[in-house]
């Protein structure tokens, strides 16, 4: 399986990249983002783009992939709906539209979040935007589109969130997160288990298109 990862420098993206590099059945990995990952590996290629809405002239670089793990995302804190839409909906649809045209047999995985509003009418701004993004992605002509809605995810192996508030939460509560994960493993994932779940989805799919934490836990075991 050849995989494209967007957002490989974020917490979830780092976990997905680590899982892909460790899995012998993943032959090639392309990471697309604004900043380098700082990693090197024989099967890893990097495509640095300042403008993640523009892929003109990059068709050869984006062709020949079986799955896309779209992990790119930002916190909605401090953003109005228009700004959050630009960094969420616009970026995801720009990449997905190109990939669907170049790789029709591709499986596309979008990392959304627990509480996403599929009806797009709720009071929570980020949930509406995520729901609108999910709904638009499902209309593209991929082989399959899976919408991942994890809740709590504990970073392992030195992986850190790029969001300062999350770094503080995970840093100060590390032992507590480990205890909670052992008490409720189906609801608190790790970057390892989520990365493995994404590979399993890309390789063999699942019986549902919206996957919550318990579904992802089962896939990542």
Residues 6+ apart with CB under 8 A from 1: 25, 26, 27, 66, 67, 199, 202, 203
Structure-token match 């997160």, residue found? 177
Q: What is the count of structural domains for the chain?
A: 1
Nearest alpha-carbon partner for 156 in 145, 170, 136, 137: 170
Per residue in 161-218, pLDDT (tens digit) is 665 555 555 555 566 667 766 776 677 899 999 999 999 999 999 999 999 999 999 9
Q: Which residue range is the domain that position 43 belongs to?
A: 2-220
SS3 11: helix
Q: Kindly report, residue by residue over 59-82, the tens digit of the pLDDT.
A: 999 999 999 999 998 888 889 999
In percent, the amount of the chain with pLDDT more than 70 equals 88
Which CATH number belongs to the domain containing residue 47 in this structure?
3.40.50.720
């Amino acid at each position: 399986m050849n995989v494209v990862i967007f957002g490989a420098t974020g917490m979830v993206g780092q976990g997905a990249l680590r899982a892909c590099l460790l899995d012998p059945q993943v032959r090639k990995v392309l990471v697309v983002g604004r900043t380098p990952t700082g990693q090197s590996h024989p099967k890893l290629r990097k495509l640095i783009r300042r403008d993640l809405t523009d892929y003109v002239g990059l068709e050869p670089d984006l062709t020949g992939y079986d799955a896309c793990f779209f992990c790119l995302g930002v916190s909605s804190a401090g953003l109005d709906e228009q700004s959050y839409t630009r960094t969420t909906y616009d970026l995801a649809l720009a990449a997905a539209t190109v990939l669907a045209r170049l790789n029709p047999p591709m499986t596309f995985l979008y990392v959304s979040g627990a509480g996403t509003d599929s009806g797009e009418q709720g009071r929570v701004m980020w949930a509406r935007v995520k729901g609108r993004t999910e709904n638009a992605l499902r209309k593209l002509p991929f082989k399959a589109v899976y919408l991942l809605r994890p809740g709590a995810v504990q970073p392992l192996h030195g992986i850190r969130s790029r969001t300062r508030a999350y770094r503080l939460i995970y840093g100060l509560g590390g032992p507590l997160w480990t205890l909670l994960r052992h008490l409720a493993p189906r609801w608190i994932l790790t970057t390892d288990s989520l990365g493995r779940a994404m590979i399993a989805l890309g390789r063999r799919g699942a019986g549902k298109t919206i996957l919550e934490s318990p579904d992802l836990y089962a896939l990542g075991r």
